[in-house]
Amino acid sequence: MSVRNLVSAVLGGLLLLLPLVSQANAQPWQEASGVMEQATRDMLAIVEDETLRQPENLDQMMNEVERVISPVVDFPYIAKRVMGKYYRRASEEEMARFTEVFKTTLLRTFAKAVVGFEFEGYEIVPPHADSPEADKQVVTVNVSSGNGQTYVLVYYMLKQDDRWTLVNVMVDGVNLRLTFKNQFADLYQRHDSISAVIDSWESQVSVDTADGARGSDEG
């Protein structure tokens, strides 16, 4: 599955998180789900704006998507883990620069996904038990897309400094963060330089053809 398909599925699931608030039982689950409520409303408004959905308005669409998801997605947290062991070799300037480049890559992918994604329905999968760590919550949603495919989305939410943010997503067992982490490692093996990896990230990382990675990357 390509990264673009993964993010398209993630977006579709994000649009469906609003009903989760009323179905939650545990307070941490309610808090984590509630964070997504306003983001869901705002994202739906973007999807329904036919002007923004025009291909020539991709940059405007990206700006609107950034406005909605930036408060929800912890880009620095994810970018650091995408860098993996190599972040220890990066300067503060390089870490900040990669976070921004990585953020732009995801935002552009989300914007393209908004244009093309259609969803038909969803099923919320209740948790079997409370999370052993109250500051970490998992939300699972089965999403049916317009092309007849069903995705299983697993959202990982983390509470830091009294704020809930999205830090990872898995789609049908494919770990989105681990996918990008493998791509970063591959680029580093080729360039042997953090700066060079950042320079080539946007051109080298394909949102259309990249292979998805399976496995755990929750550390």
Q: Domain segments of the chain: what residues?
A: 3-204
Q: Is residue 33 a contact partner of residue 48, using CB atoms and an 8 Å limit?
A: no
* Burial environment of residue 128 by CB neighbours within 10 A (0 to 12, 13 to 18, 19 or more): exposed
pLDDT digits (tens, 9 = 90+) for 103-149: 988 887 777 766 666 766 667 677 788 889 999 988 777 777 778 88
Tell me the pLDDT tens digit for each residue of 131-144.
899 999 887 777 77
Instruction: Check pLDDT > 50 for residue 23.
Output: no
User: Which amino acid, 128?
Assistant: H
CB-based contacts of 10: which residues, under 8 Å, 6+ apart? 113, 153, 169, 171, 176
Distances (CA, A) of 89 to 26, 83, 180, 185: 41, 10, 18, 13
Nearest to 178 by CA among 99, 46, 78: 78
Residue with more model confidence, 88 or 15? 88
Total-model pTM: 0.76
Instruction: Please give the average per-residue pLDDT across 172-192, as a whole number.
Output: 91
pLDDT for the residue 82: 95
Question: Can you tell me the distance from the alpha carbon of 119 to that of 8, in angstroms, rounded to the nearest whole number?
Answer: 10
Residue 7 banded pLDDT, cuts 50, 70, 90? low
Lowest mean pLDDT among 50-64, 94-108, 139-153, 198-212: 198-212
Per CATH, the homologous superfamily of domain 3-204 is Tgt2/MlaC (3.10.450.710)
Q: Which positions ≥6 away from 142 have C-beta within 8 Å?
A: 122, 123, 124, 125, 150, 151, 152, 153
Say what the pLDDT of residue 83 is: 96
74 residue type, one letter: D
